[in-house]
Structure 1
Amino acid sequence: MAPQHPTAALLLCELVMEIFSWVPAKPLTRLKLVCKSWNSIISHPHFVKLHLYRSPKNAILLFTRTEALTLDEGAKWGLVLSSVESFIQNPSSALDAQENRHSLHIADWVSGSCNGLVCVAHSPYHPNNDICDIWLRLWNPLIGFISENSPCLRVNLPIAFGFGYDESSDSYKVVTVIRDSSGTVTAQVYSFGGSSWKTINSFPAFPFSVENNGHFIGGTLNWLGLRNPHRDDYDWATVTLDMLMIVSFDLKSDTHKQILLPKGIHEIPREEPILGVWGNSLYLLHDYKNTHLIAWQMKEFGDENSWTQFLKISFQHLGVERLLSVFIFENGNIFMLRGRHHFEEVFYDRRDNSVKRINILANNSYLDALEYVESLVQPR
Structure 2
Amino acid sequence: MHMAAQHPTAALLLCEVVMEILSWVPAKPLTRLKLVCKSWNSIISHPHFVKLHLHRSPKNSILLFTRTKRLTLGEEEKQGLVLSSVESFIRNPSSSLDAQENRHSLHLEDWVSGSCNGLVCVAHILCHHNNDICDIWFRLLNPLTGFVSENSPCLRVNVHNSFGFGYDESSDSYKVVTVIRDSSGTVTAQVYSFGGSSWKTINSLPAFLFFAGDINGHFIGGTLNWLFLRNPHGAHYDWSDVTLDMLMIVSFDLKSDTHKQILLPTGIDEIPREVPTLEVWGNSLYLLHDYNNTHFIAWQMKEFGDENSWTQLLKISFQHLGVERLFLPKFIFENGNIFMLRGRLPFEKVFYDRRDNSVTRVNILGHNRYFDAFDYVESLVQPC
- Length-normalised TM-score, structure 1: 0.95
Match of 1:307 in 2: 310
Match of 1:152 in 2: 154
Match of 1:142 in 2: 144
Residue identity over aligned pairs, in percent, reads 81
Counterpart selection for 1:369 from 354, 373, 381: 373
1:273-284 to structure 2, matched below 5 A, reads: 273-284=276-287
* Displaced runs of 4 or more, over 3 A: 70-76, 209-212, 228-233
Residue 362 to residue 209, structure 1, CA distance change in 2 (3 Å): farther
Is 1:298 aligned to residue 290 of structure 2?
Answer: no
Match of 1:289 in 2: 292
Residue 75 to residue 177, structure 1, CA distance change in 2 (3 Å): farther
> CA offsets per residue over residues 305-329 of structure 1, 9 Å max, x none?
1111121111122122333231211
Deviation for aligned residue 1:170: 0.1
Is 1:60 aligned to residue 64 of structure 2?
Answer: no
Match of 1:351 in 2: 355
- Length-normalised TM-score, structure 2: 0.94
Could you tell me how far apart the structure 2 residues matched to 1:74 and 1:247 are?
Answer: 39
Contact 1:86 1:94 in 2 (8 A): yes
Could you tell me how far apart the structure 2 residues matched to 1:201 and 1:351 are?
Answer: 45
Deviation for aligned residue 1:361: 4.0
Counterpart selection for 1:183 from 182, 185, 192: 185
Is 1:217 aligned to residue 215 of structure 2?
Answer: no
Deviation for aligned residue 1:212: 3.6
Segments of structure 2 that go 5 or more residues without pairing to the other structure are none
Is 1:104 aligned to residue 106 of structure 2?
Answer: yes
The number of equivalent residue pairs is 379
Deviation for aligned residue 1:131: 0.4
> CA offsets per residue over residues 257-288 of structure 1, 9 Å max, x none?
00000001111111100111111111101111
Match of 2:340 in 1: 336
Residue 89 to residue 140, structure 1, CA distance change in 2 (3 Å): same
Could you tell me how far apart the structure 2 residues matched to 1:267 and 1:127 are?
Answer: 41
Deviation for aligned residue 1:75: 5.3
Match of 2:248 in 1: 245
Residue 305 to residue 287, structure 1, CA distance change in 2 (3 Å): same
Deviation for aligned residue 1:109: 1.3
Segments of structure 1 that go 5 or more residues without pairing to the other structure are none
Residue 376 to residue 222, structure 1, CA distance change in 2 (3 Å): same
Greater mean deviation of Cα atoms: 207-216 or 34-43: 207-216
Contact 1:343 1:366 in 2 (8 A): no
Deviation for aligned residue 1:123: 1.2
Residue 89 to residue 32, structure 1, CA distance change in 2 (3 Å): same
Residue identity opposite 2:347 in structure 1: F
Is 1:234 aligned to residue 237 of structure 2?
Answer: yes
Counterpart selection for 2:92 from 83, 90, 93: 90
Contact 1:116 1:377 in 2 (8 A): yes
Is 1:79 aligned to residue 108 of structure 2?
Answer: no
Match of 1:10 in 2: 12
Match of 1:170 in 2: 172
> CA offsets per residue over residues 144-174 of structure 1, 9 Å max, x none?
0000000000001121111000000000000
Is 1:43 aligned to residue 27 of structure 2?
Answer: no
Could you tell me how far apart the structure 1 residues matched to 2:347 and 2:39 are?
Answer: 49
Could you tell me how far apart the structure 1 residues matched to 2:72 and 2:308 are?
Answer: 49
Greater mean deviation of Cα atoms: 96-105 or 290-299: 96-105
Match of 2:364 in 1: 360
Counterpart secondary structure, 2:126: coil
> CA offsets per residue over residues 42-62 of structure 1, 9 Å max, x none?
0011100110011112x1011
Residue identity opposite 2:297 in structure 1: I
Is 1:122 aligned to residue 142 of structure 2?
Answer: no
